[in-house]
Amino acid sequence: MTQPEAAPTLQVSEVGEEAAEVVTALIHAGFSHRPALDPPATALDETTATVAAALRGAGGLLATRDGEPVGALLLDHDGDWLTLRRVSVAPQAQRLGVASALAAAAEEVAERRRVPRLRLAARVELPATVALWVRLGYREIDRHGPLLTLAKETPVRGVAEDADATRELGRRLAGGLRAGDLLILTGDLGAGKTTLTQGLGAGLGVRGPVTSPTFVLSRVHPSEVGGPPLVHVDAYRLGLGAGAGALELDDLDLDLSLDTAVTVVEWGEGLAERLADDRLHLSIRRATGGATDGAGDEATEQRTVTLTAVGARWVGSDIHRLVT
């Protein structure tokens, strides 16, 4: 009996100047396959020597598919920025996820190097390329003629040892929020979503108590210090009915208060993203077991909070430093 063929393996590795020749070849292959631009791209001016110099600096990434080089990019590290340059995919490997794999690997490099944000240049004449980077979470932050600068913040992780530390993390995070901000919280039952929201409420100076709004779906907590109110939404029940969640979220009329409030949606992943292009995703994970506090969250165990910022609103902000 014939065994089925194994699926091709796509791998991305960090490389240095030893890969200059193959990276240069990929840059030339990828950019020569693009439509003619005015002014023309300068990528075809790259030589093995210029690529080797770049790789000696901040390094680069090489993608292989079953061992064959299919994509590459150069990295440039400047302060808080990791810049992706000369992102190239071999013509025969187009539409196989190579560019997305390179982008994901670049984010991992940024996290390891503790660089808070990434950027790249794209041409407005290549709308499909721009759309790809937008799908990957990049947003336009600058434009000079046909050249766009697209950027995103890298995910950041903070550790809270217990429920009190989770509230404190929320209180710190509130210091970087303003009216119009949307936060989407995910995590298992008892992970600490409401506990973190209590900290947000304390940091924003809103009227409490902040408790789970499961049975009323949403609560509005007015500010007692002249700041924005906190709109606290629990979308758990909305996500239970197949296809019904989006319609029921519309019934809450959150769009009426989005611009004037800080909106927190628990269990909002897959439902609340369409409310705003700029948003914060917070994923909360904890160890199993332990006693519960009054809000139904685990009171004593460590949580890991992963914050992913989406949109130009957060690029260049101090949101990373408020979590770590």
Chunk the chain into consecutive blocks of 10 residues (it has 324) and report each block's average pLDDT, rounded to whole numbers: 69 97 97 86 94 97 96 96 97 95 96 93 94 93 94 90 94 95 92 94 94 77 96 76 52 77 91 88 78 48 91 86 78
Q: Are 123 and 129 in contact (CB under 8 A)?
A: yes
Domain 10-153 has CATH 3.40.630.30: yes
Output the pLDDT for position 258: 86
Bridge-based pairing state of the strands 279-286 and 218-221:
unpaired
Output the pLDDT for position 323: 79
For CATH 3.40.630.30, list the domain ranges present in the chain: 10-153
Angle between helices 48-57 and 20-32 (to 10 degrees): 110
72: which 2 tokens? 């590459």
Output the pLDDT for position 297: 45
Torsion of CA 308, 164, 233, 151, to 10 degrees: -10
Residues 6+ apart with CB under 8 A from 95: none
DSSP conformation letters of 234-266: E-TTTTTSTTTHHHHHHHTTGGGTTTTSEEEEE
Q: Which amino acid is at 314?
A: W
Instruction: Provide the greatest CA pair distance for the chain.
Output: 74
Residue with tokens 């091709």: 8
For the chain, what percentages of helix, strand and coil (3-state, to nearest 5) are there? 30, 30, 40
Bridge-based pairing state of the strands 117-123 and 81-89:
parallel
CATH code of the domain occupying 156-323: 3.40.50.300
Output the pLDDT for position 234: 86
Write the CA distances from 65 to 7, 12, 62, 93, 101, integer angstroms. 10, 9, 10, 9, 11
Output the pLDDT for position 34: 86
Helix, strand or coil for residue 216?
coil
Output the pLDDT for position 157: 87
For CATH 3.40.50.300, list the domain ranges present in the chain: 156-323
Output the pLDDT for position 299: 58
